[in-house]
Amino acid sequence: MKKFFFIGFLILTLACNLPAAQVESTPTAAADLLPTATLTPAPTATPSPTATISPPTPVPLYFTDEFNTDLSAWTSFQTGGAQPPIVALQDDALISQMQSPNTWYYAIHNAHEYTGASISAKVSGAPSGSLGLVCGYSEANGWYEFNITHEGMFSVLQGKWLAEGIADYRPILNSTTEYLQAGNMNYEIGLTCNNNTLFFHVNGKMFRKLDVSYIGLTPGKVGLSAASFDNVPMNANFEWFKVSKPEW
């Protein structure tokens, strides 16, 4: 998998939190806003009772997000790439379209940190690039990343922030499996992070176990990843994201 070892960092916020563009206009004089007719004072209205706003419903420890409501529990960021990805909820899926080559997009779920969890997602992408899952995420200590590529390969990385805007990626494993085919990125992928052991699965079948006790990044948050390579635009689709008790 193609990866820069030192890459730029750009914080993005999802769920319609992008700031509106600032549009300059010529100020209108206050006198120009006055009507020519005589104004009649409006009758005094009785104030309505203040509505009680209920706090947001807490996200359970284990859950499935089908991306049909909002992204308020998610935070995203970009590394690499000359342009930010276009991110939206569309047709009950999280869509990320990367316009420039060598762009990496991450969405981290902020509700909980886990010492052990199985995470999975229904993913698809085209024409090339990678799709993946993240566990053990911590801004201080780093994260584990499991990616599949359009070449039919998979990789395991350790990501770590070295400084603000500078990340280092350490390859842990690059390999193939009979469950991945070149040219296809339409799968249900899974990553189980159980203390210091990682398990990788495709379409519900566990195919690899990896001891990472020499790194030891738990506990941490979980999330999604996607990357473009040379062929753009790259479209990454996530139909759902699930967190459950460790399966192994």
In the chain, what are the domains? 9-13+58-244 (2.60.120.560)
Note the pLDDT tens digit of each residue in 67-105: 998 899 999 988 888 899 999 999 999 999 999 999 999
Tokens 């499991």 map to which residue? 146
**Which of 83, 230, 87 has its CA nearest to residue 151?**
230
Higher-confidence position of 77 and 57: 77
CB atoms under 10 Å from CB of 217, counted, come to: 19
Q: Is the pTM above the cut of 0.85?
A: no
Q: Is the peptide bond before 58 cis (omega within 30 degrees of 0)?
A: no
Rounded to a whole number of angstroms, the CA Rg of the chain reads: 23
Note the pLDDT tens digit of each residue in 175-191: 999 999 999 999 999 99
